[in-house]
Structure 1
Amino acid sequence: MGELNVATVTRQPEVLLVDSQDAILQRLHQLLSAHSYVLHLAHDASEALKVMATREVDLIISAAHLPQMDGPSLLARIHQHYPDTTRILLTGDPDLKLIAKAINEGEIYRYLSKPWDDQELLLTLRQALEHQHSVRERQRLEALAQEQNTQLKALNAELEKRVASRTAELQQTADMLDLAYEELKHSYATGAELFSLLVNQRLPSDKQTNRRIIDLVRAYCKIHGLDAVAQRDLAMAAALHNIGKLSWSDSMMITPADWLHHHERDRYRAYPAQSESLLMTLEPVQDAARLIRHHQEHWDGSGFPDHLKGEAIPLGSRLLKLAVDFIELQCGLILERHMNSDEALVFIRKYAGRLYDPELVEGFIQVCSVYLSDVTLGDPSVKVLGTRELAAGMLLARNLNADNGMLLLNAGKVLSQPLVDKLIAFETMEGARYSVFVKLAREPQSGT
């Protein structure tokens, strides 16, 4: 059997180990530390209760014989004050009174004998946490169902009011589009950015992307010398590309694209065409609207809405795709994980020829290295390597983090061969693949 499915929980389970003997604690710690648990150690009941008071402990394994208070009494106390914590007794002798006390007063999940079988202990621990998670999930769903049933009548009563409010909101949006048409006659870019602000007001500040996308597109146009008409159309497309999302719910607006449910994915794939449809009545932005329609097409033809391929995709749409994905990857709007700027560029380079025009990718990366001060990928001395390509003497150019966000190594660390070997072993154990930003350490100058 595999590990507990941590994808269904929100954090690593916390396990408290209690035994008066250091050797036993260390053996348990060594056995469990290779698994995705947060471990706490205690030598007696007093230490254990202090941990319980400060941490959200999911499971406790306690020895039967402890100083001050025996294991069953401790587990009974925890059952009384922390009933959600799963309790397991570890006993070195078949003391039926102690076991009965643990079962009756501590309501333990199970007891194990010393010396224990490692695989049996791991299996018991995993099953206990899986059972605990299923109970918690059932309780959560029951509470949710009760809450939803309570709200159902109120929601039905409010339905007409909400429909009227939504209609008014859509009418207000349409009215704003009409008003913006006059403004666009005088200043297309200013009008486009007005709508950009309207879209962004629906989002939390850390997920407001339009301003950054507009600035990045303008930087690209300036560095690569695009003509004024192309610059204007691309800037307006950057400002208005996601106006078709205005009718989405707030939760859908901030959900990563790869987490959307099936019916939501259909709405997601429709937004470029919907954005174009909203803008096509405004003659000054019709060219920008065409760029918006195709900015989610993929170089290999797997995109949407029209499955255009290669150079059949308008150039401006290909550039907008790069800018939108670069910013949204950092805001957690495409994948659940928030990437930093270099990681986003590694992703883009990886999918050149599949999602992105391979002829544009390197030029785009160079623009980002000028536009953003925290991009190291634009530095020709910086290399992105897998762990098995690392060698002693290389210098970390960026912090190295595990997939769960834990900092593994700080930028500026000079790698040694034992450190490289540990990274490879850790990567193998985690089933991950790390991209490491490094540059060679300077060679010592002659005569020094």
Structure 2
Amino acid sequence: MKQSSKGNNEIYRWQVLCVDDEPSILRSLRRLLPKQYYEVFIAESGQAGLEILKQQTIDLVISDMRMPLMSGAEFLEQVATLYPDTVRILLTGYADIDSTIKAVNRGRIHRYVQKPWDTDDLLSSLEQEMESKRLKLENIKLMSLVEAQNEELKELNSALEEKVQQRTEQIRKTLIDLQRSHQQVKEQVRAIIRVFYNLLSLKGTQGSQYSHEVSQLCLLIAKRFELSDFECMNIKLSGLLSEVGVLCLNDQISHKPQYYMNAEELVAYKKHAELAFKAMSPVVHLSSIALSVLHQFDRFDGKDNSSSLSGENIPLGARILAVARDYIYAIRGVSADLRYSAEGAAQLLMQKSDIIYDPDIINHLIQVIPDLHIEHLERNEKVVSTPKLESGMKLSRDVLTASNLLLLPEGHVMTWQTIKRIQSYVESSNEVLRIYVYSSQEDEVNATIN
């Protein structure tokens, strides 16, 4: 892959190897691939292709299936072993699906395309594969940055109270200096929030992945009340920064899924609300946000609340945050090892209305869910062991092996053939597969009754 810049945009020029024993096919592929995006190498046999791979860093290989001496499947199998990061595409000119499936499995092929190909479809497939590769490369760069930031965060945690106080004092002084201009103050506050949010994103906890969705839902609910735009925005920001105190927790707690925590660990985890309050409350323009974050775990009935607040004495922002946070966590599988549908998550929260949550806010939640433009499951999830698989069950997640190979894709509807295949795999590999499927209507009726 070669990179060049044009204006503010980076242009990737991918190196592609085309392998086919028919020169006319190779010429067609060379003409087809735009020169500004692809540098094309050609080989008339699998062995010649392997020689080129020794000399060039190839991003993508397109190989014909039927070639003398070494078939496309054999060639791509060697490519997968020697150059696993190279994208592999198979051209097949015959409809023998069994041979194609074997080729796909042996060469761990990313796609196969039948000849004669449709030009637009082929170009679109290449663009998709290269976009996926580009994202993976950028993810590697981001992970390096995350590791560097995590090292910095470890140092921060070693002297937490002192450093939080120092950072808060710096923010306070900055805001005092900017009081001469209201617009400058607003811009500075936004910058501070972005820093908190970026650091939280780099921390990479389960909850922080969905803080943007929590803030979006907070805003939708807040707009149902007679609040000013400023108050609505502060409630939205409380959702965005609801887990900022997690920055101050050790990795053993912050990265452990909530549904695996014991009672003691949950208490330690919820301390992040107090830590966030200490960090934000000295900043005048963040004080209402800090209060919402501090009281986000207060129960509506007041039981076990360290603040001694209950009912409407709990800040409105905190009551909205509690509902928005737990709804998003339910549909995203943060608070439990299963994800809920929109209806299932709403029913889950309704069961605790007037106990954990403000019933008025629960009613508003139900009204705004259609306006929450995020992906929802069609039904609740459940985990099924392989012996209990039944025809007609629909997968809610990919079925992956321990080595992360895809057995069945999300959305697949189980048949007796696929059940037999999965059970045979488990029996031969001695692996235990967690298979996530959508609940049936009967399951959801029983859950509602219970």
The TM-score range, normalised by the shorter chain, is 0.3 to 0.5
TM-score w.r.t. structure 1 length?
0.45
TM-score w.r.t. structure 2 length?
0.45
Q: Which has the larger radius of gyration?
A: 1
